[in-house]
Amino acid sequence: MRLTSSLLAFMLLLAPPMALNAGEEQEAPAGEGEEVVTEPALERPTLRRRERVPAPDVTEGNHGVVYEMSEDAPVQHLPDEEAGWQTRMETTQLRVGHQVRTLDQSTAKLVLRGVQDELRLPPRSHIEIEQLDESSQDVSLFLHGGSVWSQVSPRGEPDAFRVRTPELTAGVRGTLFRVDNADGSSQVTVVSGTVHVTANRTGVSVTLRENQAAVVNADGQILDLLANPVDPDAIMRDWDDWSADMVGASGSVAGMTPIGNLSQQIAMDNAQWEATMQEHMRNVAELRYAENIDEFAGAFARFANDTGVIPESQEEAWSLIKFGEDLDGWDGPYVEGAVPPLDPWRNPLMYRKVTNPAGRVFARVYSFGPDGRDDGGVNSSRDIIAHVLYFDLERFRDDPSVNPPLP
């Protein structure tokens, strides 16, 4: 049987005393002919735990409340820019537009009005209440930095509860999940339920399920999905027994990978991208990249042949060929690495569905080229284009909506 630190501490408290009170003397057992030696008893240290505080009520006219901070570990509260940041050591009512941030050694809990959604902030975290409607069903929070754990009550509409960062929007109906933000990247980790993650810059999205995590970088790419390294049972135990000593100086909770590691990974990815960029430029990037675009066009053709689905938009296209495992016949992922891919000039590779005058359906996969403009370009600034001929695929040759008969 494995004993947790909490259980060991509880057993020590129940155990009979092993020594007399401090300052009293205790005789050591003496054998025949031995001198009796007396020693002062050792004082057993007092084990202290922070008292669990029930969630306070949100008063009339307010939208939430922050609590469980102390004089030793205060938080800061920004009611508005004019008032400036204020140090709080006691329960404080919040309204839409208010911001809360924890310091190096402080943590805090927030409860929102109505359905009692609960948020927990580890050290060095900064969150803002952006929106909360009259029914308390439509909620939007903005994580400026650090981390937030969210336990969300069930809702009728998808993505009714949202946590935004500069890089992504995480929307849920009801679940337990965490969002981290640091150094131009954000990560969402799901403990239970599902979370719909959308990259703000590109609109590419993915649905995360229990024990999955995803990272979105500053370019609006969703990196390959990660297996959540956390034991969900341990997370739930810590959720129910939140205390300052369970939060490490790294700002991670319950054994989560520290955000510093995420930053290092992003830095490595950026360094690798820079090396690739220089290689492209040395070898006349636009000519070499044309071959890569042909490969991406082939990926869309394989996807459509397997699933019978023709993506309608840029956002849908990259989401489906990378994360569309729920579709019948899906045999992907059809592309490797982050989506949408970046061209050598660090712009997202584009997808556009087209129907020609004869009614035939195809798609363009293209880069804006060196000038970064969607204008076709000329000479060295020309766009780099490949075509996906859906009407010519075996799956659609007899489909009049894709390949109508010629007159």
What is the per-residue pLDDT across 331-340, written as a single tens digit (0 to 9) for each?
A: 999 999 899 9
Is residue 347 within 8 A of residue 368, CB to CB? The reply is yes
Q: What is the pLDDT of residue 59?
A: 93
Residues 74 and 20 in one domain: no
Question: Are residues 43 and 72 both part of a single domain?
Answer: no
pLDDT at 372: 74
What are the residues facing 224 on neighbouring strands? none
Do residues 41 and 71 share a domain? Answer: no
Q: Could you read off the pLDDT of 87-123 as tens digits, one per residue?
A: 998 999 999 999 999 998 888 999 998 877 889 998 8
Comparing CA positions, the residue from 22, 12, 64 lying closest to residue 42 is 22
Do 156 and 196 fall into the same domain? Answer: yes
Going from the first residue of the chain to its last (407 residues), give the mean pLDDT of each consecutive group of 10, the final group possibly shorter: 37 37 42 46 39 78 89 89 91 96 91 86 93 90 93 84 94 86 89 90 91 90 75 56 37 32 50 50 50 88 96 95 95 93 86 94 89 60 82 94 89
* Both structure tokens of 242: 């939140």
What is the spatial distance between Cα 227 and Cα 102, in angstroms, rounded to a whole number? 28
Bin 314: left if φ > 0, else alpha if -120 < ψ < 50, else beta.
Answer: alpha
Question: Do the domain assignments include residue 53?
Answer: no
Are 123 and 11 part of one and the same domain? no
Q: Is residue 139 located within the same domain as residue 15?
A: no
The domain tally of the chain equals 3
Strand partners, 317: none
Q: What pLDDT sits at residue 279? A: 46
CATH number of the CATH domain containing 326: 3.30.700
264 within domain boundaries: no
Buried b (16+ CB within 10 A) or exposed e, 40-72: eeeeeeeeeeeeeeeeeebeeeebbbbbbbeee
DSSP letters spanning 240-304: HT--GGGB-TTS-BTTPPPHHHHHHHHHHHHHHHHHHHHHHHHT-HHHHHHHHHHHHHHHHHHHH
What are the backbone angles phi and psi of residue 323, rounded to the nearest 5°? -125, 25
Residue 327: per-residue pLDDT? 96
* 170 and 302 co-located in one domain: no
User: Is residue 269 assigned to a domain?
Assistant: no
State the Rg of the chain over Cα: 29
268 domain-assigned: no
Tokens of 133: 């409607």
What is the average pLDDT value for the chain, to the nearest integer? 76
Residues in CB range of 28: below 8 A, 6 or more apart: 36, 37, 38, 39
Query: Given the structure tokens 């981390």, which residue do they identify?
Result: 147
Instruction: Supply the DSSP symbol for 351.
Output: E
pTM: 0.68
Q: Is residue 54 included in any domain, yes or no?
A: no
Q: What is the pLDDT of residue 312?
A: 96
Does one domain contain both 208 and 238? yes
Residues spanned by the domain of 311: 283-396
